[in-house]
Amino acid sequence: MPARAQGFGVLMLLLAGSAGGCASQAEAPSERVVVVGFDGLDYGALERYASRLPTFRRFLAEGAHAEMQVTSPIMSPIVWTTMASGYPAEVHGVGGWTNGRGRSFTGADVRVQRLWDVVSGAGHESLVAGWLMTWPAPIVRGHSLSDRFVWSHPMSRDNAREDFEEEREATTYPDSLGTLASELMPDAEWLAASPLAYQIAAYGAPSHPLGRDETHTRVFEALWPESDAALSVLYLNGADQVSHLYWPFQDPDAQRAIRLDPTAHKRQVDDLQRRHPNQTLPPYGETGLTAADLGEAARWVPDYYVYLDGVLDRVWTLVGPDTTLVLLSDHGFQCSSTKPLVVGGHRGVAVFAAVGPRVRARARGEAHVFDVAPTLYALLGLPAAEDMPGHVLHDLFDVEEQPRIASRVLQRGAIEVGEGESAGDDALRSQLEALGYLDESGRPNAAIGESRRNTNVVVDDKAP
């Protein structure tokens, strides 16, 4: 903590409580910042499929990037909230998918300012498209589409929507954005014409992530041209979801094991079923996956990456070279340590990559998930806080950091981190179950990861 900032910090702590404080003193950010978050995007897969991913390849070659270490437990709601705030779970308030007492974590649990709160407080616009833990939709200058918007709509226009009506409260800000976003949702015809149609047919339209990711992307594309947003964030879940179920089938070691032993996959499936009898059968679980099935099974993950490469191309083309464009993931993937042929598990190395006017071209560095928010604050010309553990990534950016304020924590208290008994919100819960994130009793799916097991975090309740 720089000594010169301390007196200033005390003053700013008082201001921090008053809704971001000093809008009149804010200067306009010199350049706009766009963040695209790809849940579960893995450097290893980007490399393995580079020949099919021309946009990612060019982005990584021309821009700056770092292997990013993430905090444990590696749970998406925790990590995305850390990246948006600069704080660990014990401080930001989101402890996983559900707390220990039957309730889903939501944006209402967040006890710290996130980037868009601060940007709004400084008088600038934000554009939030689907970032995790943004329900109720944040009230910002600009627009916010909460992550629950797509969860509250069956991802096919052919499905009855009445059941979902009550879940649509506060899924967008302003409310009128909900009408636009509904119109932008891809219809069954579009989904059927997609190169991923074979996945949707196998998986079921409401559960496959393509419709949700495409909706988030279209909302960003629709709002950007009219927007002055200093900060835009776009979140896409599909790489994570597809990788949980299909990662092993494209992994060279797992492929070798399946080719050498035609019953190896089935034995692991059966063992999994014995331990977790209520769990949905994994892909190819009925018969076991053999060498003959590998060609088809191995396509799922790379084909989804090809779709994401197209999304990146659309976004990069739209925002142009004068915008700082940052790519993030919250973790990578690897074969599960216990069932390496059946499920993919989270890997603690995530993607941080950037292009733009203040990016040190072709720079390579080290990053930690705590560094994301301080670096984005620096790019936005806004102060991070002294109680954020991260640093500005000066190796990757030519950027000055503003003197930090004392804190961007709004409230402190005990939180529960880890799995829950049951999720209270039925519609969201059934969606999470359908995707395999939760089991039938609302617990995080044990097969889907070491990553979602119960973890007790000792809460430091002593405010500075």
**DSSP per position, 184-241:** HS--HHHHHHSTTHHHHHHH-TTTSTHHHHHHHHHHHHHHGGG---SEEEEEE-HHHH
38: helix, strand or coil = strand
The type of residue at 295 is G
| Interaction of residue 147 with Zn ion, rule CB under 5 A | no
For Zn ion, which is the closer residue by CB, 41 or 231? 41
DSSP 268: H
Q: Which stretch binds Zn ion (CB under 5 A): 31-39, 56-64, 278-286, 291-299?
A: 31-39
Position with the least CB separation from Zn ion: 76
For Zn ion, the binding residues in 290-349 under the rule CB under 5 A are 330
For Zn ion, which is the closer residue by CB, 382 or 435? 435
| Interaction of residue 117 with Zn ion, rule CB under 5 A | no
- Residue identified by tokens 């930690």 is 368
| Interaction of residue 213 with Zn ion, rule CB under 5 A | no
Query: What's the token pair of residue 75?
Result: 């749970």
| Interaction of residue 451 with Zn ion, rule CB under 5 A | no
For Zn ion, which is the closer residue by CB, 88 or 383? 88
Q: Based on C-alpha coordinates, what's the Rg of the chain? A: 21
The type of residue at 86 is G
CB of 101 to Zn ion, least distance (A): 23
Spatial contact of 373 and 384, defined as CB atoms under 8 Å apart: yes
**DSSP per position, 86-144:** S--HHHH---SSB-TTS-B--GGG--B--HHHHHHHTT--EEEES-TT--SPP--SEEE
The type of residue at 157 is R
With CB under 5 A as the rule, give the number of residues binding Zn ion.
5
Choose which of 39, 147, 167, 387 interacts with Zn ion (CB under 5 A). 39
| Interaction of residue 433 with Zn ion, rule CB under 5 A | no
CB of 82 to Zn ion, least distance (A): 12
| Residue 199 region by backbone torsions, left for phi larger than 0, else alpha for psi between -120 and 50, else beta | alpha
CB of 63 to Zn ion, least distance (A): 22
- Degrees to nearest 5, angle at CA 305 with 301 and 310: 155
Choose which of 125, 240, 419, 433 interacts with Zn ion (CB under 5 A). 240
CA separation for the pair 136, 149 (Å, rounded)? 10
For Zn ion, which is the closer residue by CB, 39 or 117? 39
For Zn ion, which is the closer residue by CB, 81 or 144? 81
| Interaction of residue 76 with Zn ion, rule CB under 5 A | yes
| Interaction of residue 214 with Zn ion, rule CB under 5 A | no
By C-alpha distance, which of 202, 272, 227, 270 is closest to 447?
272
Q: Which stretch binds Zn ion (CB under 5 A): 71-79, 248-256, 358-366, 438-446?
A: 71-79
For Zn ion, which is the closer residue by CB, 107 or 121? 107
For Zn ion, which is the closer residue by CB, 86 or 238? 238
For Zn ion, which is the closer residue by CB, 42 or 240? 240
| Interaction of residue 386 with Zn ion, rule CB under 5 A | no
Interacting residues with Zn ion (CB under 5 A): 39-40, 76, 240, 330
